[in-house]
């Protein structure tokens, strides 16, 4: 049997004085999975360009010197020593050039799970910059451990690097939210009214939410709520709710004891056929294929 509906959502818990942390940002980030697969450094001469794979996600930390960005039609941005740049969707046509003096850059390449809340990842801006003043309390320590593991030939070093890159990405996103400049679904977390509706969806994902009910939780009119939610989150409230339910269902399909029909019913679909159609519409394949991929077995 699958778990009860109230147990389907992930509640990251961190014991701090005996009180578990179940904040909304943790709820969302727990569903965005990534794997770090390369850590390296480079030294750029003055006006030297940083060569990045256009489609690969990266974290870039300037440890010496200064960079500036180049992009057609945009004003250059300056990246100083100690600043972090997160490129969640790859560099694309954005270029980084050493400015004035040689620059040293630590680079972490990573990839998101392709089925990990894809809409949320693509709703992030192409470039997120965290100034040194916002990261001085945590970034230097993590970079130190990354470099230690990079030079470690002991078993498990690759996994440690991947986990540390995961931590850097999550911490950068949290810092960005706290700066108050976030947009997309992270912007929704920084808006108290929209965040209250998001929190309700995450805490009670199997409830049959209506726009009116969610608008009431947010303390807004129906039309204002829909417009604000869609603008900040990048999808309508009910679409977000449905994608969240299906993402939770995907985690359940990783269990060998999973029963596809039961999972569909547990997340609110009236039939296995309706569940399969919705699942394939979001992830590109049926729940049965997902189960087989996750468990490497026939059903």
Angle between helices 237-252 and 192-203 (to 10 degrees): 40
pLDDT at 21 over 50: no
Measured CA angle at 49 (ends 46, 52), to 5 deg: 150
pLDDT at 12 over 50: no
> What is the distance between the alpha carbons of residues 211 and 83, in angstroms, rounded to a whole number?
41
> What is the distance between the alpha carbons of residues 279 and 32, in angstroms, rounded to a whole number?
18
Closest CA to 239 of 265, 195, 201: 201
User: Distances in Å between the alpha carbon of 271 and those of 205, 261, 274?
Assistant: 18, 7, 5
> What is the distance between the alpha carbons of residues 167 and 186, in angstroms, rounded to a whole number?
17
Highest-scoring range by mean pLDDT, 13-27, 198-212, 213-227, 260-274: 213-227
pLDDT at 5 over 50: no
With beta carbons less than 8 A apart as the criterion, state whether 144 and 83 touch. no
> What pLDDT shows up at residue 4?
40
User: Which residues fall within 8 angstroms of residue 232, CB to CB, at 6 or more apart?
Assistant: 183, 184, 185, 187, 188, 191, 194
> What is the distance between the alpha carbons of residues 55 and 21, in angstroms, rounded to a whole number?
34
With beta carbons less than 8 A apart as the criterion, state whether 34 and 169 touch. yes
pLDDT at 177 over 80: no
Domains of the chain, CATH where assigned: 31-182 (2.60.120.280)
pLDDT at 172 over 60: yes
> What is the distance between the alpha carbons of residues 5 and 263, in angstroms, rounded to a whole number?
9
> What is the distance between the alpha carbons of residues 216 and 213, in angstroms, rounded to a whole number?
5
Percent of the chain scoring above 70 in pLDDT: 83
Q: pTM of the prediction?
A: 0.66
Q: Give the model confidence (pLDDT) of 121-168 as tens digits.
A: 656 778 899 999 888 788 989 988 888 888 877 788 888 888 899 889
Burial status of residue 81 (CB atoms within 10 A of its CB: 0-12, 13-18, 19 or more): middle
Closest CA to 30 of 139, 122, 146, 116: 116
User: Distances in Å between the alpha carbon of 226 and those of 186, 231, 232?
Assistant: 17, 8, 10
Place of tokens 């004085």: 17
Residue 27 structure tokens: 């709820």
> What pLDDT shows up at residue 115?
56
CB atoms within 10 A of CB 18: 5
Place of tokens 């680079």: 107
Closest CA to 173 of 160, 161, 190: 190
Bridge partners, residue 231, by sequence: none
């Amino acid at each position: 049997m699958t778990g009860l509906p109230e147990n389907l959502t992930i509640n990251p818990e961190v014991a701090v004085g005996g009180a578990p942390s179940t904040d909304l940002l943790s709820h969302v980030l727990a569903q965005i999975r990534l794997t770090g697969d390369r850590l390296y450094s480079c030294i750029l001469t003055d006006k030297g360009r940083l060569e990045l794979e256009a489609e690969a996600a990266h974290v870039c930390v300037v440890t010496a010197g200064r960079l500036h960005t180049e992009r057609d039609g945009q004003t250059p941005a300056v990246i100083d020593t100690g600043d972090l740049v997160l490129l969640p969707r790859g560099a694309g046509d954005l270029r980084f050039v050493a400015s004035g003096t040689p620059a040293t850059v630590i680079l972490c390449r990573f990839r998101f799970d392709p089925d990990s809340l894809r809409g949320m990842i693509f709703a992030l801006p192409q470039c997120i910059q965290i100034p040194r003043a916002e990261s001085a309390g945590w970034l230097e320590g993590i970079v130190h451990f990354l470099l230690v593991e990079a030079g470690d030939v002991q078993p498990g070093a690759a996994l440690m690097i991947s986990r540390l890159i995961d931590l850097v990405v999550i911490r950068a996103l949290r810092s960005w939210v706290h700066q108050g400049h976030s947009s997309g679904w992270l912007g929704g977390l920084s808006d108290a009214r929209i965040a209250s509706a998001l929190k309700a969806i995450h805490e009670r994902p199997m409830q049959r939410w209506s726009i009116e009910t969610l608008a009431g939780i947010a303390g807004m009119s129906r039309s204002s709520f829909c417009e604000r939610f869609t603008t900040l989150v990048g999808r309508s409230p009910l679409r977000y709710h449905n994608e969240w339910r299906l993402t939770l269902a995907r985690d359940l399909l990783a269990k060998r004891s999973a029963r596809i029909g039961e999972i569909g019913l547990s997340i609110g679909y009236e039939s296995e056929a309706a569940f399969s159609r919705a699942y394939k519409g979001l992830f590109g394949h049926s729940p049965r294929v997902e189960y087989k991929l996750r468990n490497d077995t026939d059903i």
